[in-house]
Amino acid sequence: MNLQEEYAAKLVSADTAASVIKSGDWVDYGWCVGTPYTVDKAIAKRLPELEDVKFRGGVLLRRPAVFDIEHPEDHLSWNSWHMTGIERKAISQGFGYFSPMRYAELPRFYREDNIPKPDVAVIQVAPMDEHGYFNFGPQASHLAAMCASAKCVIVEVNRNQPNCHGGFEHAIPLSEVDMIVEGENPPVTEMGAGGPISDIDRKVASLIVEEIPNGACLQLGIGGMPNAVGSMIAESDLKDLGVHTEMYVDGFVDLYNAGKINCSKKEIDRGREVYAFAAGTKKLYDHLNNNPACMSVPVDYTNDPHIVGQINNFISINNAVDVDLFGQVNAESAGLKHISGTGGQLDFVMGAYLSKGGKSFICMSSAFESKTKGLQSRIRPTLTNGSIVTDPRSTIHYLVTEYGKVNLKGLTTWQRAEAIISIAHPNFRDELIQEAETMGIWKKSNRR
């Protein structure tokens, strides 16, 4: 058969695609904006007659239809590689669970025997090209490995998915697809940039931007502070910047449009903005569509610390929920309340330090306002019971709040405590010193 004949032979309705799912199956959905839409609705219609269907996915930007069936906990579990607010609600409803991982390792999970192989993989893709390939859109991530390990691969074609140039594993050939569904072509789900940039965000950003040299390569996490860093770079005199990041966000588009990004100084992938997945507004998807300056690749490439370490002056900027006086960073829970996931934060903290001239920054406000307890410190004696250690104390480079930045590399426990307390909110410093004394990490000569 030629390509069009093979395409026609595999073309089915969404209901037919959904009919292959059985009780007890593992069903893997695409990632972020590659999460299926039309097939998801068809599966939701079928789910009430099934039991124990185990879905996997992550970074949901809209609520899947399967979440909205009556008593979902009786029919499904949602197992997330990285959670958003939508997925946190699934936890509270009793059918959502998190799968801890370093994001760089995810493709290997599928290729080896770490996890049950998908019975069915359902992903949203761009239309087939003239060579018989379906582009994954802005989420190469782990999808090639996922599809290669699945017993049945269903692609849902969406004409609005950007066609994203890649390095490798950014598309799937027709020969490896079992069923094709031509979907309803919804607009690609957008993710806003969040609230306005605060004065605290700007202060933290200013402390980081002064550490960035011309020709540096950037990784920006999501959130107000990384966004503020992007905004300040756009207003600065910095030039010849590169991009090598896990998540591509609107801030990179703004930097590109401001003439700050050309990737001309990168030691590898010179001239190309490299990313594993992307989410943002329409301007981001338009920027990535058919743009040879952008390179969509699997996450075991973007997040590999040894790949990152080959790029000189690598600058990694990420958020945290809180940190303790040992330098342990929690970026994924509030006590037992799950928030997001490890993602690639640890990957880039380690990778940036392998880079010649590289620096990683963990940034946060020194305190936050609790509805019930008033002002609370983000710097704690020890992490709250149940909080997750995203970054071990041995890996942290720079820690930044609005009160300053400290380099924790090579410091003893008492030096760390002293440095971390120096950038805590002033209201809490005396209390933290007392706690440090009790914990045996405060030098007697420092006592007041």
Dihedral class, residue 215 (left if φ above 0, else alpha if ψ from -120 to 50, else beta): left
Is 332 catalytic? The answer is no
Answer for the pair 384, 339: CB distance below 8 angstroms, yes or no.
no
Which sign, positive or negative, has the C-alpha torsion 431, 432, 436, 439?
Answer: positive
Q: Which one, of 289, 236, 297, 240, lies nearest residue 263 by Cα?
A: 240
Give the SS3 label for residue 430. helix
Q: Point out which residues pair with 329 in neighbouring strands.
A: 323, 391
How many Å apart are CA 62 and CA 124, to the nearest integer? 14
At residue 201, the 3 state secondary structure works out as helix
Residues near 381 by beta carbon (within 8 Å), at least 6 away in sequence: 324, 325, 432, 435, 436, 438, 439
Contact indicator for 358, 309 with CB cutoff of 8 Å: yes
Catalytic residue among 87, 156, 169, 246: 246
Q: What is the 3-state secondary structure (H, E, C) of 349-397?
A: HHHHHHCCCCEEEEECCCEEEECCCEEEECEECCCCCCCCCCECCCCCC
**Are the CB atoms for 362 and 323 separated by under 8 Å?**
yes
SS3 of residue 309 by DSSP: coil
Written as one letter, the residue type at 6 is E
Residue whose C-alpha is closest to residue 362's, from 420, 317, 416: 317
* Residue in 340, 304, 346, 338 with CA at minimum distance from that of residue 107: 304
User: d(Cα 262, Cα 73) in Å, to the nearest integer?
Assistant: 49
Q: What would you measure as the largest C-alpha separation in the chain, in angstroms? A: 83
Residues 153/292, Cβ–Cβ less than 8 Å: no
Q: Which residues are catalytic?
A: 246
